């Protein structure tokens, strides 16, 4: 399986060459003819019309990641909606980029930890929000655990949840740990999918 990299020709800027020594720089036109199911393709967000390109690569069976110089929650969510399984800063350390590729090749999803909360909130809304939450999944939770859970699902960080509920971040983490254990999930995105009746693996590098 080959790793490809698509950008507007600025291949000297991202650290992708150091991270992926055998990767091939390619144009959107060339990838159409060369792509084989299972290949990994990194698309720079400065590539013209990148969301449709990501969607097409995903449809054809590629493991797709999006790199950007200015990460935002909105762009991360757009990348995931288009079919990407990874969203990373182009200047991330090579080791982190390699970890991200390993995750997306194994059907996981990689998003920077600082954007995790916002992406989780957007995903929860797309899946129907509170109205679609599975009530039976909440029965095992205490009242405070439910409050923490729904604040997290709205896209709030631990700090924001603590401020909203008048508790410490450590307490928020303790409640989340208990929620994860009771519901059999490992991270926020799995929590979203569990409460929405779906399943997906998302790796939180900052968890």
DSSP secondary structure code for residue 132 in this structure: G
Which of these ranges, 36-40, 196-200, 202-206, has the smallest mean pLDDT?
202-206
Q: What is the pLDDT of residue 136?
A: 73
The class level of CATH for 116-203 reads mainly alpha
Those residues whose C-beta lies under 8 Å from the C-beta of residue 166, and which sit 6 or more positions away, are: none
Nearest to 119 by CA among 81, 169, 149: 81
The class level of CATH for 3-110 reads alpha beta
* Residue 57 contacts residue 35 (beta carbons within 8 Å): yes
Question: What are the structural domain ranges in the chain?
Answer: 3-110, 116-203
Those residues whose C-beta lies under 8 Å from the C-beta of residue 123, and which sit 6 or more positions away, are: 77, 80, 189, 192
Which of these ranges, 1-5, 81-85, 122-126, 168-172, has the smallest mean pLDDT?
122-126
Can you tell me the distance from the alpha carbon of 3 to that of 40, in angstroms, rounded to the nearest whole number?
Answer: 5
**Is residue 101 classed as helix, strand or coil in its secondary structure?**
helix
DSSP secondary structure code for residue 129 in this structure: G
pLDDT digits (tens, 9 = 90+) for 23-68: 888 888 898 889 999 999 999 998 889 999 999 999 999 999 999 9
Q: Residue 172: is its pLDDT beyond 90?
A: yes
Helix, strand, coil percentages, rounded to 5, for the chain: 50, 15, 35
Can you tell me the distance from the alpha carbon of 19 to that of 74, in angstroms, rounded to the nearest whole number?
Answer: 26
How large is the average pLDDT for residues 147-176?
91
């Amino acid at each position: 399986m080959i790793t490809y990299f698509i950008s507007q020709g600025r291949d000297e800027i991202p650290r992708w060459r150091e991270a992926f020594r055998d990767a091939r720089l390619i144009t959107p036109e060339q990838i159409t003819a060369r792509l084989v199911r299972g290949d990994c393709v990194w698309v720079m967000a400065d590539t013209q019309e990148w969301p449709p390109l990501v969607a097409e690569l995903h449809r054809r069976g590629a493991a797709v990641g999006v790199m950007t110089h200015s990460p935002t929650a909105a762009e991360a969510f757009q990348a995931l909606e288009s079919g990407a399984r990874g969203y990373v800063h182009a200047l991330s350390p090579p080791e982190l980029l390699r970890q991200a590729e390993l995750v997306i090749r194994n059907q996981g999803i990689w998003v920077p930890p600082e954007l995790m909360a916002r992406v989780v909130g957007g995903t929860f809304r797309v899946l129907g929000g509170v109205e679609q939450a599975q009530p039976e999944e909440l029965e095992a939770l205490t009242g405070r655990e439910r409050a923490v859970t729904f604040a997290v699902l709205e896209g709030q960080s631990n700090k924001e949840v603590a401020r909203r509920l008048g508790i410490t971040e450590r307490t928020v983490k303790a409640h989340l740990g208990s929620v994860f254990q009771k519901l059999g999930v490992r991270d926020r995105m799995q929590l979203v999918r569990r409460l929405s009746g779906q399943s997906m693996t998302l790796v939180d590098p900052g968890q």
